[in-house]
A = this chain, B = another copy of it.
Amino acid sequence: MGKRNLYLNNTPVEEALNVYREALKGLIAPGRETIPVIESLNRITAEAVYAAYCSPLYNAAAMDGIAVISERTRGASEREPLTLYPDADFAVVDTGDPVKPPYDAVIMAEDLTELADGGVRITGAAAPWQHVRPIGEDIVAGEMILPGRHRIRPIDIGVLLAGGITEVPVYTLPEVAIFPTGTEIIEPGTEPGEGDIIESNSRMFEAMVTEHGGTARRFAPIADDYEKLKDAVSRAADEYDMVLVNAGSSAGTEDYTVHILRELGEVLIHGVAVKPGKPVILAIVKDKPVIGLPGYPVSAYINFENFVVPVLEMMNGRAGKQRSVAEAVVTKRLVSSLKHREYVRVKVGKVDERLVASPLARGAGAAMSLARADGFCVIEQNSEGVEAGERVPVELYRTLEEIDRTVVAIGSHDLILDVLSDLMPDECPGNYLSSTHVGSMAGLMALRRGEAHIAPAHLLDEASGTYNIPIIKRLFQEPMALIKGVDRIQGIMAAAGNPLGIQEIGDLRRVRYVNRQRGAGTRVLLDYRLKLAGIAPEEISGYEREAATHMAAAAAIAGGSADAGMGIESAARAMGLDFIPIGPEEYDFAIPVRFLSLPHVQCFLEVLKSEAFKERVMKLGGYALRRTGEIVYC
């Protein structure tokens, strides 16, 4: 099986970073350059900047009016107005005009009466220097305008220019070379064959380098060719400030990177105690930082934040990022090993003035869970995890203001949730829908624990044959309502063309089935149908195999690892599968009555009843909108 690097180190994150920083300390330092102020937005000052001129540059009128000699206005009052004449007594000035000797004060235009003979009448004396902005009132020559290590904002550009500064010393943007590697990877836009992986990490890195104050140069993917990669990295270490090599840092047979880096320079760290993201490589080649990042997107992302960003900051003078942190109640137990620190992506919502964090998929490959996350909670290496209901600090990707106006949905998945979340900010800007898919029953339980505003559900009550209302009545004490959602068709999804000729529930006994998780409405429906047909779960091969959503079940069938699964028509359509209808069901939203008046819930209702929603749902197919948006009190 070739030479595998089975044995990675397990260095704690902070220790690994310290080792690397220490090693780099003498080698890298922020570069400086002087650039025009008008091009300096978001750059970081390399040193303090001092004003060259005063602003205002001279004693200036602070109002539109006339410049006067204050002494000559003495004694003027409503009773004994004074008349002044141009040139001898006053000069007309606009705001910003110089006030020059002999004038030493300004009287506002509003306080004047113009006379026919060109004079003006004043009804009050002017104090010396009244309505005059003294030279340097705003900026004094020699005064520090900006400190060093300051990120230049639009207002800073304004004051720099006003202070007579046209060029500003800033730290240079480090140049980072990015090498995607691997024989199996293909460029985006290429039609993928089996075994191909679309190369996307390098483009994510490119954007992250840009965001963190660097310039990225992404190279074309390099196949797993030892000499080619070695040559490329070696040359890049000459020409760039930092080199990133993606993939090839795990312990696979095609893992050349660590050997190459050992040959070219020094590998300081290979493997850190972090999940996801263990197999990172921190190396130095020709005095330049070279970092090997794992191929899994979440691992790659977390290591980029943990290691690439701090090294970039050593080179560009930026201060450590300060992501905002808030305490949130975690909605389920998170067990974590003492072997590593774990980063768990979470959705965050605000329910009843309490921040609630719902964990998302924890896999290293789950890039979508990172894209969908509102933040993450960190389970430190010395912790075995957190219990459900515990308060944990969550680093937030979104602002608390956005989270405040987000409807939190936890429950059954349907494609219409995507449509709703897409339409929300359109219909009422600044309002959002966040949904986590755990199945109908788990959603209702989360709603009961105060972790969501609404729970999408489609739970059939076997006794009465009705949907949702009986179970809500059983589960909740407080006044509840049901927002009617959509009628949708459940059925059996099968490969395109239905090669196994599946016609009814009974046929599931002779195929490889893919089931849904316990508590999912679709699973409840299957169980009910099996019971009606007198079939035991044991008779269904694959009954124990669980997919988390309709789409995941559909994907298993499309991928050939299963022959059939229950699901909704829109999911079958989206994946190009055949669909054998079983019957209609009601997909609704359970909600405590007290949430109905929340403005973001009102917005949700509006969207649900909108023409735009109707149009989009009809395009998906497999739905009827008989009572959509209706509120039924339970």
Contacts of A1 in B (CB 8 A): 92, 109, 114
Nearest residue in B to A313 (C-beta to C-beta)? B429
Q: Is B92's CB under 8 angstroms from A55's CB?
A: no
Q: Is B57's CB under 8 angstroms from A138's CB?
A: no
Partner of A207, one of B154, B188, B206, B560: B154
- A575→B560 CA distance, assembly (Å): 81
Residue among A57, A101, A146, A154 facing the most chain B CB atoms (10 A cut-off): A154
Contacts of A199 in B (CB 8 A): 161
Q: How many copies does the complex hold?
A: 2
Q: Is B138's CB under 8 angstroms from A366's CB?
A: yes
Q: Residue A172 at the B interface, CB < 8 A?
A: no
A162 CB, nearest partner CB in chain B, Å:
4
A38 CB, nearest partner CB in chain B, Å:
5
- A368→B165 CA distance, assembly (Å): 14
- A162→B38 CA distance, assembly (Å): 38
Q: Is A401's CB under 8 angstroms from B322's CB?
A: yes
A140-B549, A143-B551, A154-B206 known, 5 other contacts, Cβ within 8 Å = A136-B551, A139-B367, A145-B368, A157-B207, A158-B204
Q: Is B545's CB under 8 angstroms from A129's CB?
A: yes
Chain A residues within CB distance 8 Å of chain B: 1, 4, 6, 37-38, 41, 47-48, 53-59, 62, 64, 92, 94-98, 100-101, 104, 109-110, 114, 128-129, 133-149, 153-162, 164, 166, 184, 188-189, 192, 194-201, 203-208, 210-211, 250-254, 295-297, 301, 319-320, 322, 324-325, 363, 365-371, 399-402, 415, 418-419, 421-423, 425-426, 429-430, 545, 547, 549, 551-552, 554-556, 558-561, 571, 574-575
- A133→B144 CA distance, assembly (Å): 58
Contacts of A57 in B (CB 8 A): 192, 194, 196-198
Contacts of A194 in B (CB 8 A): 57-58, 98, 100
A227 CB, nearest partner CB in chain B, Å:
20
Please, could you name 13 A-B residue pairs with CB atoms under 8 Å apart, sorted by A? Answer: A38-B188, A41-B207, A54-B559, A64-B251, A135-B556, A136-B559, A141-B575, A154-B207, A155-B297, A155-B301, A158-B204, A158-B371, A164-B198
